[in-house]
């Protein structure tokens, strides 16, 4: 279980870097877009949210898969996977919330949500894949 003290910070740092990369892509898409966003659906299009969120989830899956293959032992049971998933998601969402401190509460919550949900799903599938292959 001591390996969690290594892979949790590594997972948080790597996924945050990836999230910030895709957030920068969203900002570039917004600047390049000629759309005027009136409703939420148009804002999703303007920031290319679906693609960026999907790619973030895919990269999170690969990162977690590599970390899980390097550290997961079936004798740990489910607790090892759940601790990694929930602690990395909580810490990452909290850091994003702090980074966006000067933004409105809606932006902070939405950014933390766009980090947390794909990360949790991707991490769960990565540990499931690891469990099935080991």
Q: Which two tokens stand for residue 1?
A: 């279980």
Binned at pLDDT 50, 70 and 90, residue 84 comes out as: very high
Is residue 95 within 8 A of residue 19, CB to CB? The reply is no
What is the rounded CA–CA span in Å between residue 22 and residue 8? 21
What is the rounded CA–CA span in Å between residue 81 and residue 126? 9
Number of domains in the chain: 1
Specify the pLDDT at position 119. 96
Backbone conformation region of residue 73, classed left if phi is above 0, alpha if psi is from -120 to 50, else beta: beta
More confident residue, 104 or 86: 86
- pTM metric for this prediction: 0.88
Domain with 39, as residue range(s), is 4-133
Binned at pLDDT 50, 70 and 90, residue 85 comes out as: very high
Binned at pLDDT 50, 70 and 90, residue 31 comes out as: confident
């Amino acid at each position: 279980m001591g390996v969690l003290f290594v892979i949790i910070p590594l997972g948080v740092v790597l996924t945050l870097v990836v999230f910030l990369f895709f957030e920068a892509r969203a900002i570039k898409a917004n600047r390049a877009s000629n759309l005027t966003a009136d409703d939420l659906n148009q804002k999703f299009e303007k920031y290319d949210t679906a693609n960026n969120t999907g790619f973030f989830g895919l990269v999170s899956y690969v990162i977690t898969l590599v970390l899980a293959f390097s550290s997961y032992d079936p004798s740990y049971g489910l607790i090892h996977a759940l601790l990694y998933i929930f602690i990395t998601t909580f810490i990452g969402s909290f850091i994003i919330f702090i980074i966006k401190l000067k933004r409105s509460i809606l932006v902070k919550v939405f950014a933390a949500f766009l980090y947390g949900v794909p990360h949790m799903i991707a991490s769960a599938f990565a540990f499931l894949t690891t469990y099935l292959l080991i």
